[in-house]
Amino acid sequence: MANVHKDFHGALSFGIQFLDDQYGLAGLEEFFTRAAKAVYATLIEDLHCRGLDALKEHWDTVFTLEAGGFETWYEGDTLVLDVRACPAIHHMRARNYRIADHFCEHTRIVNEAVCAAAGYACSVEYDQDAGRCVQRFWRAVP
Amino acid sequence: MISCVDYIYTYSELFKYLEERGGYGKVVELWEGIREEFLANLRDYVARDGLKGMYAYWSHTLGEEGGRHHMSLYDDMFVIDMHDCPSAKKVFREGRIEPYPKYCEHCPVLYPPLIREFGYEVEYHLIDCPSGQCRLVVRKPPDVPTPDDR
Give me the CATH number covering residue B134: 3.30.1380
Distance between CA atoms of residues A72 and A56, nearest Å: 7
Q: How confident is the model at residue B67 (pLDDT cuts 50, 70, 90)?
A: confident
Q: Which residues in chain B touch residue A9, judged by CB atoms under 8 angstroms apart? A: 4, 7
**How far is it, in rounded angstroms, from Cα B40 to Cα B47?**
10
Best of A1, A3, A127 to disrupt the B interface by mutation (most B CBs within 10 Å)?
Answer: A3
3-state SS assignment for residue A11: helix
Per-residue pLDDT band at B26 (split at 50, 70, 90): very high
Share of chain A above pLDDT 70, in %: 99
Could you tell me the CA-to-CA distances from B132 to B6, B95, B129 in Å, in that order? 18, 15, 5
Q: Is B3–A66 a contact, with Cβ atoms under 8 angstroms apart?
A: yes
Judge whether A64 and A118 are in contact, CB under 8 Å: no
pLDDT at A84 over 90: yes
Round to whole Å and give the CA distance between A30 and B147.
44
Average pLDDT, whole number, for chain B?
96
Rounded to a whole number of angstroms, the distance from the CA of B73 to the nearest CA of chain A is 23
Domain count, chain B: 1
CA separation for the pair A133, A55 (Å, rounded): 16
Question: Rounded mean pLDDT of chain A?
Answer: 96
Q: Which candidate from A9, A38, A107 shows the least CB-CB separation from B97?
A: A38
The Cα of B147 is separated from the nearest Cα of chain A by a number of Å equal to: 24
* Distance, CA of A68 to CA of A90 (rounded, Å): 9
- Of B65, B61, B134, B138, nearest to B103 by C-alpha is B134
Q: By C-alpha distance, which of A97, A92, A19, A121 is closest to B14?
A: A19
Show the domain range for B48: 4-149
Question: Is the pLDDT confidence value at B54 over 80?
Answer: yes
pLDDT in tens, B83-103: 999 999 999 999 999 999 999
Task: With CA atoms as reference, report the closest residue to A28 among A92, A86, A137, A108.
Answer: A108
Closest residue in A to B5 (Cα) is A4
B28-46 residue pLDDT tens: 999 999 999 999 999 999 9
Query: A86 and B9: CB-CB below 8 Å?
Result: no
Predicted confidence at residue A1, as pLDDT, reads 59
Q: Residue A121 pLDDT more than 80? A: yes
> pLDDT above 90 covers what percent of chain B?
94
**What is the percentage of chain A residues whose pLDDT exceeds 90?**
93
Question: Cα distance from B143 to chain A (closest Cα, Å)?
Answer: 36
Which run of H or E residues covers position A69?
Answer: strand A69-75
Where does residue A88 rank: exposed (0-12), middle (13-18), buried (19+ CB within 10 A)?
buried
B65, A5: Cβ pair inside 8 Å?
Answer: yes
The answer to whether A24 contacts chain B (CB < 8 Å) is no
Kindly identify which residue of chain A lies nearest to residue B62, measuring between CA atoms: A5
Partner residue opposite A14 with nearest CB, options B10, B33, B96: B33
Minimum-distance CB partner of B38 among A10, A40, A62:
A10
A7/B96 CB distance under 8 A: no
Nearest CA in chain A to B64: A5
Task: Return the domain boundaries, chain A.
Answer: 7-139
- CATH classification of A7-139, choosing from 3.30.450, 3.40.1000, 3.30.1380, 3.30.70? 3.30.1380
**Pairwise CA distance, residues A87 & A70, whole Å:** 10
